[in-house]
């Protein structure tokens, strides 16, 4: 059961890499239950840009990228040059355009993880791009998310992140469901502690 849940979660997490790019941001004009960034919305926040260790705001015109925060001890923080409020003009020479920005960001990150792990951020007003080094995970296997070393590493990395104090803020129990899916004792211990300390009557279930 845990393996099935884990497979579904990894597939959903990696789904951006498999979607085809359209001529516009969104082929379907209505997305009643979608969390996708709006082409006319003034601000959309992406809490965590994967292992880079930063949050980003997507602003108008669609889509300007602004750093919302830098995680302490992260690859982004290790540069000593990236900080909240900076505007990113491009990443590895790419500007966000034509498709859902989360898909494009995912593809940029996946390409870096499969090669040298380098992400070059062109900062507005900066003389030179700031290079961030993320772990090299290789490419996805043909059978991903099953029997895929990269998928396993991603799951472990997300689980380690969600195990940190405050990491699940705003996620409710969704982060705990992810930790349950790994089946590892150290993750189950985090869930037990969360369950014991969760405020009473906070969730309808």
pLDDT digits (tens, 9 = 90+) for 168-197: 766 667 888 899 999 899 999 999 998 888
Q: At residue 128, does pLDDT exceed 60?
A: yes
What is the predicted pLDDT for the residue at 186? Answer: 95
The DSSP H or E segment spanning 3 is helix 2-14
Is 25:39 a contact under the CB 8 Å cutoff?
Answer: yes
Collapsing DSSP states into helix, strand and coil, what is residue 68?
strand
Is 82:65 a contact under the CB 8 Å cutoff?
Answer: no
Q: How much of the chain, in percent, has pLDDT values that exceed 70?
A: 76
What is the reported pTM?
Answer: 0.71
The DSSP H or E segment spanning 122 is strand 118-123
What is the predicted pLDDT for the residue at 99? Answer: 83
What is the predicted pLDDT for the residue at 26? Answer: 58
What is the predicted pLDDT for the residue at 14? Answer: 44
Pairing between β-strand 118-123 and β-strand 87-91 as defined by DSSP bridges: antiparallel
Q: How much of the chain, in percent, has pLDDT values that exceed 90?
A: 55
The C-alpha angle with vertex 109 and arms to 117 and 43, in degrees rounded to 5, equals 135
List the one residue out of 36, 12, 3 whose CA is nearest residue 174.
12
**Pairwise CA distance, residues 7 & 155, whole Å:** 10
Question: Cα 161 to the chain's mean position, in Å?
Answer: 11
List the one residue out of 86, 48, 21 whose CA is nearest residue 171.
48
User: pLDDT tier at 24 (50, 70, 90 boundaries)?
Assistant: low
Q: Which letter, b or e, does each residue of 15-41 get, where b requires 16 or more Cβ atoms within 10 Å of its Cβ?
A: ebeeeeeeeebeeeeeeeeeeebbeee
DSSP 82: -
Q: Residue 79 has which token pair?
A: 């540069």
Residue 7 vs residue 79, higher pLDDT: 79
The Cβ of residue 130 has, within 10 Å, a number of other Cβ atoms equal to 17
Domains and CATH numbers, the chain: 20-133 (2.30.42.10)
């Amino acid at each position: 059961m845990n393996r099935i849940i884990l497979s579904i979660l990894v597939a959903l997490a990696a789904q951006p890499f498999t979607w085809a790019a359209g001529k516009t941001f969104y082929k379907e004009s209505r997305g009643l239950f979608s969390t996708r960034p709006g082409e006319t919305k003034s601000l959309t926040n992406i809490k965590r840009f994967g292992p880079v260790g930063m949050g980003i705001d997507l602003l108008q015109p669609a889509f300007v990228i602004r750093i919302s925060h830098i995680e302490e001890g992260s690859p982004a923080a290790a540069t000593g040059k990236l900080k909240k409020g900076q505007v990113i003009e491009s990443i590895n020479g790419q500007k966000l355009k034509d498709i859902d920005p989360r898909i494009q960001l995912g593809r940029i990150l996946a390409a870096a993880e499969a090669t040298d792990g380098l992400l070059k951020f062109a900062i507005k007003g900066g003389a030179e791009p700031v290079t961030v080094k993320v772990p090299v995970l290789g490419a996805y296997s043909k059978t991903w998310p099953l029997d895929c070393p990269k998928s396993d590493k991603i799951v472990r990395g997300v689980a380690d992140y969600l195990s940190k104090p405050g990491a699940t803020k705003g996620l409710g129990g969704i982060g705990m469901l992810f930790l349950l899916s790994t089946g590892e004792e150290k993750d189950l211990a985090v869930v037990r502690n969360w369950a014991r300390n969760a405020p009473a009557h906070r969730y309808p279930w």
